[in-house]
Amino acid sequence: MNGQGRREFGDSGEAIAARYVEGLGWRILGRNVRMGKGELDITAMDGDDLVVLEVRARRVGKLMPAEASVGPLKLRTLIKTARKYVEKISFDGCWRIDVIAVTEDESGNIRIELFRDVTMGLDGPFMG
């Protein structure tokens, strides 16, 4: 990922995140799913649970870690967009929103961290 521009770096981060969750045994349903003005980076099934994944790719040295860049406004947008997606596909099971942080250090080494159910308690009983 070293030497890439911002867009290419983000795309590489999403590809790394997709391979990571596939390695966990999750089934990818979609990538860059557009729902009105919103977009879901990755949608996947973790067993019977639908997971909406927000991917954050950062290089070490940024002001904040990747996972910290998902603030309250972004979470509200994710919830709204995820609800539209759940309705569109008529999903009636449990679903959640996870964040995957893909961080590249100065040597080009990649660290991946998965933060599960980042909206827990934020919006009440909005999950299935």
pLDDT tens track for 107-119: 889 999 999 998 8
Interval 26-53: pLDDT, tens: 999 999 999 988 999 999 999 999 999 9
The CATH number that applies at residue 58 is: 3.40.1350.10
The SS3 assignment for 74 reads: helix
Query: How many domains does the chain divide into?
Result: 1
Q: State which residues form the domain around 96.
A: 6-115
Separation in Å, CA 60 to CA 9, 103, 119: 13, 7, 25
Residue 44 lies in a domain: yes
The residues facing 48 across adjacent strands are none
CB 79 within 8 A of CB 126: yes
Residue 126 lies in a domain: no
Residue 105 lies in a domain: yes
Of 29, 28, 9, nearest to 20 by C-alpha is 28
| CA R_g for the chain | 14
Residue 125 lies in a domain: no
Residue 39 lies in a domain: yes
Task: Give the confidence band of 74 by pLDDT, cuts at 50, 70, 90.
Answer: confident
Task: Give the confidence band of 70 by pLDDT, cuts at 50, 70, 90.
Answer: confident
* Whole-number pLDDT of residue 23: 97
Answer yes or no: is pLDDT of 17 > 90: yes
* Whole-number pLDDT of residue 3: 55
Of 12, 102, 106, 120, nearest to 61 by C-alpha is 106
pLDDT > 70: percent of the chain: 81
Residue 122 lies in a domain: no
Task: Give the confidence band of 125 by pLDDT, cuts at 50, 70, 90.
Answer: very low
